[in-house]
Structure 1
Amino acid sequence: MSLASRLDHRLYARLAPRRATADPLPGLRWIDTPAGRVRVQDSGGSGPAVLLVPDGPCVIEHYADLVKRLAPRVRVLVADLPGFGFSAPGPRYDHQLRAGAEVLLALLDGLGIERAVLGLSCVNGYYGIAAASLAPQRVAHLLLAQTPGMAAMRDWTRRIVPRPIRIPLLGQLINFAQRRVVAEGWYKVALGRREDRTRFQQPADHALANGGCYCFASVVQGMQRARPDDPLLGPIAVPATLLWGESDRSHRHTDASSLRAHLPEVAIRVVEQAGHFPDLEAAEVYAAVLLKLLFPDEAT
């Protein structure tokens, strides 16, 4: 148990009374994992399963439009990973590759799902790759967004993330104290269209004002320990697609094709109108790509 992970746990444990009053969602479930209880929205149904994971500061509530587009054909699960949204981090959760992968697999187990498409973005994409390395039979497809190769992500972190955030304990304290400010600032940088800021900021700020978690510093520090040649990152042959938001200013100097170091056969599709969140900024494109993956023989 690291001091940083224990600090995050204690900081956010204090907000538990506020989280208890969170607005209910249809199909809301709580799944116990090694990293803590995880909040999941389950659309139900008998269609193929897709597990979507918000990239903080986004939360489950941001996914209402995408779920609406997919639910008639697909069983959609949207989960706030530990340390984000209303899923508080356990005291031992360090956000490293194996720990994040084990959370994803535990969610599939808890939901009774044998095999699913994993829809993940940014650093969460590495958890998906690691989960596919550990249990390839559980992953039908990796649908990633804004996840470059690990070496490129480390360069991105050095360029974009202020150094104090990368320092254990100090980073957690700054992140916690400034979580609402950090979230607002990140949307200003990451979104492709200025007019999208309000619809992204409002659900995130509502969650953070009511006990929501945003353990950005811990994710950054956890990923700093991951090596680009880590065996959990492959290369692996699981089917994979990457949607890349071309209007993401934070990744202006990032090469999307660097992901092929881990997923050599990944198909890459550039989404010009989207920034850092192609799944949400271009939900119609994301839904069309996903449905084509699941139902390839149907006419578009």
Structure 2
Amino acid sequence: MRAAFSVIDTDAGRIRVVDSASPGPVVVFVPDGPNVVEHYQALIHRLSPSCRVVCFDMPGFGFSLPHASYAHSLDQGAKLVLSVLDHLKIRKATLAFSCANGFYALRTARIAPDRVSGLVLSQTPSLQAMHAWTDRVVPKPLRVPVLGQWLGWLFRERAASSWYRIALPATTDASPFRDVARQALRCGACFSLAGVVQGLVKASDAGLKGVQTPCTVIWGAQDRSHRHTNPQSLLDIVPHAELVQFDDCGHFPDLEKSERFIRILMEKVSRYG
């Protein structure tokens, strides 16, 4: 079964979506840039016999072009997720988001708990821990409005290549990730790291507290960009969350160790209903 691509017009921008449209519970993925929807094709194919799989790039990433008014805030991101669900006539779904996108998933579950069956988050710490990560890893010029966006676009290919080198284990061949991202960027894809960093800089964990939705956090221990990040920090916000660590994995557990990830995801989906 080959999932079909479409474009959805939303208040946040034109969102590029792939939908398997297969029967079963709904699982929604959002790639963590510079990954794009194309990185998820194999995973979508494997999951489609068991569930309906939706995958889309957030505004400012991949080929989802944001409106000028989209500032990557928690509420804007959550409203965008709900807009996609509404457009696809999805009443309820499990959100399988990663890294900073996990904050949008958590905010969605906070403001619309009846729309989210469960959360399966990869490499998402607390916002406080993510701010500390930003201070360590993201160059200061990218945190400056306008300048950051200009530099991010100018050096997008170099930034993507550098990111894969530190996000993946030292023993992992980054070329399969890098080549797909490079092709997308050369065809006009976005990688708005500056936008997300600037959009979340004033956000706090207070906006995420109170989530009651079942939550599982999968953490790749070999992610060198997060070597100083405490994976348990999210439990300060979502104390009922279950933490699962992949000791042989980097920043992308869903793509690096897909079979293991799928087993956990489907067990959670069956439990969440």
Q: TM-score range by the shorter chain?
A: over 0.9
Q: What does residue range 32-181 of structure 1 map to in structure 2 within 5 Å?
A: 32-181=9-158
2:250 to 253, 275, 279: 275
**In the alignment, is residue 246 of structure 1 matched against residue 221 of structure 2?**
yes
Distance in structure 2 (CA, Å) of the matches to 1:201 and 1:65: 16
| Partners of 1:65 and 1:283 within 8 A in 2 | no
Contact 1:49 1:116 in 2 (8 A): yes
SS in structure 2 opposite 1:184? helix
Give the conservation status (yes or no) of the 8 Å contact 1:188–1:194.
no
- Measure the CA separation in 1 of the matches of 2:173 and 2:263: 21
Amino acid in structure 2 at the alignment position of 1:290: L
Secondary structure in 2 matching 1:56: coil
Q: For 1:72, what is the secondary structure of its paired residue? A: coil
| Cα distance, 1:67 vs structure 2 | 1.1
Q: Secondary structure at the match of 1:173?
A: helix
Unpaired runs of 5+ residues, structure 2, are none
Distance 1:195 1:255, change over 3 A: closer
Residues 1:192 and 2:165 aligned together: no
Q: With structure 1 as the length reference, what TM-score do the two structures score?
A: 0.88
In structure 2, C-alpha distance between the alignment counterparts of 1:83 and 1:296, rounded to whole Å: 33
- Per-residue deviation, residues 98-122 of structure 1 (Å, max 9, x unmatched): 0000000101001100000001000
CA contact (8 A) 1:235 1:264 kept: no
Question: Between the two proteins, what is the percent identity of the paired residues?
Answer: 44
CA distance, structure 1, for counterparts of residue 217 and residue 242 of structure 2 = 6
Q: 1:113 and 1:26 mapped to 2: Cα distance?
A: 16
2:263 aligned residue: 288
Shift of 1:193: 4.8
Structure 1 counterpart SS, 2:55: strand
Alignment of 1:253-268 (within 5 A): 253-268=228-243
- Could you say which residue in structure 1 is the equivalent of 2:211? 236
